[in-house]
Structure 1
Amino acid sequence: MDKLKVSSARMVANARARIEEVETPDLIAALKDPDLVVVDIRDVRERQRSGFIPGSIHAPRGMLEFWVDPESPYFKEVFRQDGRRFVLHCASGWRSALATATLQDMGFEAAHLKEGFSTWAEQGGPVEHSDRT
């Protein structure tokens, strides 16, 4: 295979250099903040298999840009900023770094969970399990 102009690892590193990264203990401590919106961008099967952060909303990575855009026919009211703080997460922090950088480029303010959901429970984060996502 030919070498790419920019590797996925480089894209993640570039994104992380310009976005806000939230450490797991800091997000755990902020969970009761009524202005905090935790956005899980993982695949629905990942949420079903591993559980999810209580109160988080699920926004599939493939629809995120459309759901946050008030001019999109797919806009979701939950993404109206109105002083809320949005923190995205995926499993390891790679997809959420790229997604957060993209939203920032759009003018949507968000941060992401640096280590993702992979160490969430180990670090004392609550996990909810349900058949519904």
Structure 2
Amino acid sequence: MAIKSSTTLVTEALDQIKTISTDEAFEKSSKNECNLIDIRDIRELDKEGRVENSNHIPRGMLEFWLDPDSVYFKDGKLDMNKEMVLFCAGGLRSALAAKTLQEMGFEKVSHIDGGFAALKQSKFKIV
């Protein structure tokens, strides 16, 4: 049995998803055109800070919190008609997560190139 490496999975995801820059994400967020979703672990947020006006959904709960049929669905937390813009620490987990949301049927999904590391150097405010 051949097992795909995590690198292969991320590479395949990047070929299939939309990647946006921090500037594009800032513009979408400023115009209230997206849900800015931080999928990092809570310990990462506590240690590194948070992006102002972002929503925290841990990677392990993403599919459950966004599935209206799940008992874990967070009704009203996000605008389900807006683009889901994901980020993690560096952009690997968010690439995989964006691909999963596409597989769930979300049509407007992207992830931020460089993740939180890039966001810290951008126009976004870290709180």
- TM-score, normalised via structure 2 length: 0.90
Shift of residue 33, structure 1, vs aligned partner: 1.7
1:97-112 matched pairs, under 5 angstroms:
97-109=95-107, 110-112=109-111
Separation (CA, whole Å) in 1 of partners of 2:99 and 2:14: 8
Consecutive aligned runs of 4 or more in structure 1 exceeding 3 Å deviation = none
Q: Which residue of 1 aligns with 2:58?
A: 60
Per-residue Cα deviation, 1:25-75 (whole angstroms, up to 9, x for no partner): 211233212232100000001111111111111001111111111111111
Per-residue Cα deviation, 1:62-90 (whole angstroms, up to 9, x for no partner): 11111111111111122451x31110100
Q: Which residue of 1 aligns with 2:18?
A: 20
Separation (CA, whole Å) in 1 of partners of 2:46 and 2:18: 27
Separation (CA, whole Å) in 1 of partners of 2:65 and 2:78: 7
Of residues 8-17 and 27-36 in structure 1, the stretch that sits farther from structure 2 once superposed is 27-36
Structure 2 unaligned regions, length at least 5: none
Could you tell me whether the CA contact under 8 Å between 1:61 and 1:99 is conserved in 2?
yes
Per-residue Cα deviation, 1:8-30 (whole angstroms, up to 9, x for no partner): 00100000100011111211233
1:44-55 matched pairs, under 5 angstroms:
44-55=42-53
Could you tell me whether the CA contact under 8 Å between 1:39 and 1:56 is conserved in 2?
yes
Q: Which residue of 2 aligns with 1:122?
A: 121
Could you tell me whether the CA contact under 8 Å between 1:68 and 1:80 is conserved in 2?
no
Q: How many corresponding residue pairs? A: 125
Secondary structure, aligned partner of 2:19: strand
- TM-score, normalised via structure 1 length: 0.86
Secondary structure, aligned partner of 2:16: coil
Between Structure 1 and Structure 2, the one with more helix by share is 2
Larger Cα Rg: Structure 1 or Structure 2?
Answer: 1
1:77-116 matched pairs, under 5 angstroms:
77=75, 78-81=77-80, 83-109=81-107, 110-116=109-115
Secondary structure, aligned partner of 2:51: coil
